[in-house]
Structure 1
Amino acid sequence: MTAPRVAAAVALGLLAACGGGGGGGGVEPRGTATLTAPTFVTAPEVRESVDLELTSDRAASALQVDLVADPAVIPSAAGIVSAGRATDLEPAFQNVAPGRIRLVLFDPGGAPTLPAGQGPVLRVSFRVTGTAPAGSSALGFEDPIVVDGDGETFDVTVVAGEVIVQR
């Protein structure tokens, strides 16, 4: 990850940890968002690209989440691109540990450029290991953060998917 992307990811974390940067005098309900992982069928040694979806009730400017998979199936990501309604945003990722990929999507200017709605926002590419066991394993999210243009955090729900390996 490049230095500007690391700086943006750190800024996102700080904004969320401090309760955001907004403040218009009134009390506004928090936004709500749902991150959904896909369910898909694959095989050992196959390169895959899967879309992660976001549903939100208001515009967002950034998100950060850990994508978690069985490391015997998906140990790391090979790449990431913004997708769908998020194509104007910058994506970044870090393979934090085997089976744990930190994903970040942000507007470098902090603008709420990810409109409210539903659909894919990130496409993650990886290779299924050659020793991946046959069967089903979870593909889930942990530690989700979604923020608006004022740095206010959303209430986030996550929906896990599955990786089904066929031999």
Structure 2
Amino acid sequence: MGNYTIEEKEGFIVLGIGVELKSDYTDYVGINKEKSDFWQGIKEDGTLDTLKKIATNHYVFTVNEAVNNKMMHYAGVMTNETLPKATRIIQFPKGEYLIVKGEAATSEELSNLLTGIAFGQALPEAQDVAYVGGPNTAVEMGEKNGLVYGEMWIPVVRK
């Protein structure tokens, strides 16, 4: 067990503003471009700042979830409020989560790094747990020494 931990988490809710990813799920270049365009758009139009203003903490969630057979990608925050632009209230279940920690130069690099390690290395190594779907999230937690740091949270079940 090298680059991940398994932790128990209480259930939590993230208010998300999202986009449907149209690229094939194996088209990583296409998916990453769609995600990058989405994040650039919500930063430029102020949507991300609006989300951050209603957050109960300083975390920014990058959520991936399959909804009605569509690949959805969200920017979200923990909050008790709602927004007209909000597209989904995302429920994360109470239970065990596979956690990968990391840091990178930008938010986008952090999300891509954590996702790659979590799905490419940690989940295949985790012999006693399995990801059975549901929302997963890269959580940007802050900055230190010029780097953005955070964690990937993937709900898992015991095999």
When the two structures are superposed, what TM-score results if normalisation uses the length of structure 2? 0.29
Instruction: Flag the structure with higher helix content.
Output: 2
When the two structures are superposed, what TM-score results if normalisation uses the length of structure 1? 0.28
